[in-house]
Copies of this chain bind each other. A is one copy, B any other.
Amino acid sequence: MEGTMKEPQVHGFLFFAVPPGQRTSHTAHRVEAALQRASSVPGVVGLFTYSTVGLRWDCDLCFWIAAHEVPSYQRAAAHLLATDLRPAWALWGTVRSSPYTGRSGTSVRMSAPRKRYLVVYPFTKTHDWYQLPHEERRRMMLEHARVGHDFEDIEQLLLYTTGLSDWEFVVGYETDDLERFSDLVTAMRSTAARPYTLRDTPILTARYGSLQEVLGDVFPGT
């Protein structure tokens, strides 16, 4: 993993559960070694670790992989899978320009320090949404964006994955304050665009930490 001028276009969030009987220092060491291998895959620009302990019942930790291309992303993911942690969720997509605003919808920067929390969820629009005139959809997306502008302390990553995953988009948010992020989502629920959301679960909240901090959380006895 090395510094780069260009922001990565491919992001993936891999959530894993520790299988029964494997909350051991042996597993912790395997995760540590795998992360080193994954970080050194050419084309991988960022690799961050998170704890989901107590916030989800189906996983314990999360890795955020940022890469220039899908094959690099996959190679990094392969190293993490080789730990025999049990994969719970894989959410991925690419940064693209919005057909409504021409902008990417992504404010996250690799070089910035990570915030305390990450929230990731996928979403899909209804059939009705796509039958609306483009201009009407654009108007609603601009209202939607305006609500977000009141929350400038929250960074957004908007990933396109229509036709490539079980959902159309994956969104990631970085925040230092979970209640403040919750306020943002609550405000969004009353926008005109909201009823055109078909599905937006699972919603996965994770706490940022260095690898050692996350391993200390997930493997408390080691």
Q: Which residue numbers of A lie inside 8 Å of B, CB to CB? A: 12, 14-15, 18-21, 23, 37, 51, 53-58, 60, 65, 70-71, 73-79, 81-82, 84, 86-90, 92, 94, 96, 99, 119, 127-128, 130-131, 160-166, 178-179, 181-182, 184-186, 189-190, 194-195, 197, 201-203, 205, 207, 217-221
Cβ contact within 8 Å between A130 and B194: yes
Question: With A14-B54, A57-B90, A203-B166 in contact, do A78 and B217 touch (Cβ < 8 Å)?
Answer: yes
Hey, which chain B residues are within 8 Å of A53, CB to CB?
74, 77-78, 81
B23, B51, B58: the one contacting A74 at CB < 8 Å is B51
CB closest chain-B residue, reference A209: B71
Main secondary structure of the interface of A (DSSP, over half): mixed
Shortest distance from the beta carbon of A52 to any chain B beta carbon, whole Å: 9
Which of B74, B128, B131, B219 interacts with A217 by CB under 8 Å?
A: B74
Copies in the complex: 5
A207 to B164 alpha-carbon distance, docked (Å)? 12
Pick 21 A–B contacts, CB within 8 A, sort by A.
A15-B57, A23-B82, A51-B74, A54-B73, A54-B76, A54-B77, A54-B92, A55-B165, A56-B90, A70-B178, A71-B207, A82-B221, A94-B179, A119-B164, A127-B197, A131-B195, A161-B182, A162-B189, A164-B181, A165-B203, A165-B205
Given contacts A119-B163, A163-B185, A185-B162, contact A84 B127 (CB under 8 A): no
Task: Select the residue from A57, A90, A161 with max chain B CB neighbours within 10 A.
Answer: A57
Using CB atoms, name the residue of chain B closest to A205: B164
* A195 CA to B202 CA, complexed, in Å: 23
Q: Are A190 and B130 in contact (CB under 8 A)?
A: yes
Assembled-state Cα–Cα distance A23/B162 (Å): 31
